Structure 1
Amino acid sequence: MTKDTAIKLFQDQRVRVEWDGEQEKWFFSIVDIIRILTASPNPRKYWSVLKTRLKKEGSELATNCSQLKMRSADGKYYKTDVADTEQLLRLIQSIPSPNAEPFKVWLAKVGYERIEETEDPEKAFDRAMETYLKKGYSANWINQRLKSIEVRKELTDEWDIRGVKKGMEYAILTDEITQAWAGLTTKEYKELKDLKKENLRDNMTNLELVLNMLAEATTTEISKEKKPNSFLENKEIANQGGTIAGNTRKEIEEKTGKPVISPLNAKELGLKSENEKLDE
């Protein structure tokens, strides 16, 4: 079963979702939905009580809901009760909430957007831009970030072809690239920026993003030419791609007299205003 993990926003509140490519369905975290609909301080407890009640009433929702591993606030993955759109509509009917009708509209919109994005992937980028703009990022930074997503996808596609496994092996190779160009492991880089579960790329300056893209794009091109057959060969190529970008970073630092790697995260950069100052 092929799934795409994502975060969808409902009135600026996060909902964890996964797309099942085989069933062509979104699966939504029930706890996240209940948190939004009820504003309960303990949505897990609310769902536990509601599930018990639904079981007594003979509801299929309580017995047929699936579980998927989803990322929690602590960054770890836990089994979470999930429901598809049809099941969620039934759940909404069981919860008195002023958000019920807007939520139904939102569910329909999410489903329609996925169909649109499948037919025209460019729409996914347009929606990502809208999300970043709402968060206050500058248009210039967003363009770089969207390009970095494209470059990263090309790299992971190449890794898939070379037999690299998603998860741990992806993480090891990414770490190899990062350390080679930035002089820091991914963990050290995030610690420098005082990040925990936040996305590192979402907290990079324009120049950091450009160098990270150079490292990943170069790794992709070297891999296409050398066609590695083992994980160790892929790791060596990752180091080579990162080193090329690392040499560029050192040249920039030599010419400017200041470090490229910034300890500032998105909040400290001031998002739009400060990013624009950095571009000047």
Structure 2
Amino acid sequence: MSDKNKIQLYEDKQIRTLWDADKEKWYISIVDVIAVLTESIDPPAYWRKLKQRLKAEGNQTVTNCHALKMLAADGKMRKTDVADTEQLFRLIQSIPSPKAEPFKLWLAQIASERLEEMQDPEITIDRALKQYLELGYSENWINQRLKSIEIRKELTDEWKKRGLKEGIQFATLTNIITKAWADKTTKEYKVLKGLKKENLRDNMTNTELILNMLAEASTKDISEAVAPKNFTESKKVAKQGGNVAKVARKELEAKTGKKVISPLNAKTFLQEKKTKKLKSDNEKE
């Protein structure tokens, strides 16, 4: 199965999804959908009861649902019940909610958008740009973030070329790069910023993003130059690439007297930005 994990937003609430390129369909976390539609304080319990009732009624939709690993709140990949869009349309009929109809429209839209993106990858970038702008990020930061996505893709393509596996090996190499340039593991970095399942790069400052890009671009370039033969050799390359950015970070910190690695996260930054704007608007009035 070739897949793509992604967090979708519906009314500012996160819904975990997974794209199966072979079957060309989305798989969506059922408990996340229940959380949106019911606002239950315990969506997993709501789903367990609903599943029992539907099974007792002989509902085949529930029987056909299966579990896939998705990113949990604790930052680990854990199995959760998922449904494709067709199955979800049927399940929604069993959940009394005034949000049912608008949610169906949203569900149909993301399925359509993914198929469009497969035909024209530029659409993916355009939609990402629009979403970041809506969230309140600056255009300068967005440009850096989109560039970081491109550089990350080049690096993972290089890893695939060397026969490395997505999942644990990619995560291990990424952790080595981060530890090398930032002096923190990915987990330690996220803890510093107060993150759980949020994307670390989406919560980096401009400078952090630039140095992370330098580390990943350097790792890719070194890998192309030395052609590591296995995972062990690639780990050495990852550390070397990260060290290139570490040198730049240390020099910058020496010149400015300020730490580059910041506890600032997007939620805090964007809230502060909004507060400052409101204060400025009020002063003008």
Establish whether TM, by shorter chain, passes 0.5. yes
C-alpha displacement at 1:271, in angstroms? 6.2
Deviation (angstroms), 1:73: 1.6
Q: Which amino acid aligns with 1:132?
A: Y
Alignment partner, residue 163 of structure 2: 163
- Render the CA deviation track for 1:127-173: whole Å, top value 9, x for unaligned: 22222223222121111111111111111111111122222222221
TM-score, structure 2 as length reference: 0.89
2:127 counterpart of 1:127: yes
Change (3 A) 1:61 1:151: same
User: Structure 1 regions of 5+ residues with no counterpart?
Assistant: none
- AA at the equivalent of 1:14: Q
Residues 203-254 of structure 1 show CA distances to partners (whole Å, capped at 9, x for unaligned) of: 2211111111011011111111221101121111112211222222222223
Partner Cα separation in structure 1 for residue 94 and residue 27 of structure 2: 19
Compared with structure 1, are the counterparts of its residues 79 and 188 closer, same or farther at alpha carbon in structure 2 (3 Å cutoff)?
closer
Larger deviation, residues 4-13 vs 45-54: 45-54
CA distance in 2, matches of 1:31, 1:188: 28
SS at match of 2:51: helix
Q: Structure 2 regions of 5+ residues with no counterpart?
A: 277-285
SS in 2 for 1:232: helix
Question: Is the contact between residue 138 and residue 271 of structure 1 (CA under 8 Å) also seen in structure 2?
Answer: no
Runs of 4+ in 1 over 6 A off after TM superposition: none
Q: 1:157-214: CA deviations, max 9, x gaps? A: 1111112222222222112212222233323333333333332222221111111101
**SS of equivalent to 1:197:** coil
Q: How many positions carry a matched residue from both structures?
A: 275
Q: Quick one: structure 1 residues 110 and 220, their matched pair in 2 at CA, closer, same or farther if it must change by over 3 Å?
A: same
Q: How does 1:189-208 map to 2 (within 5 A)?
A: 189-208=189-208
Task: Verify: 1:78 aligned to 2:78, yes or no.
Answer: yes
Contact 1:211 1:245 in 2 (8 A): yes
Match in the other structure for 2:59: 59
Q: How has the CA–CA distance of structure 1 residues 67 and 163 changed in structure 2, closer, same or farther, with 3 Å as cutoff? A: same
Which whole-Å CA distance do the structure 2 matches of 1:176 and 1:141 have between them?
25
Aligned counterpart, 1:232: 232
Give runs of aligned pairs for residues 36-55 of structure 1, distance below 5 A: 36-55=36-55
Cα offset, 1:100, TM superposition:
1.5
Distance 1:117 1:211, change over 3 A: same
Contact 1:138 1:272 in 2 (8 A): no
What is the deviation of 1:46? 2.0
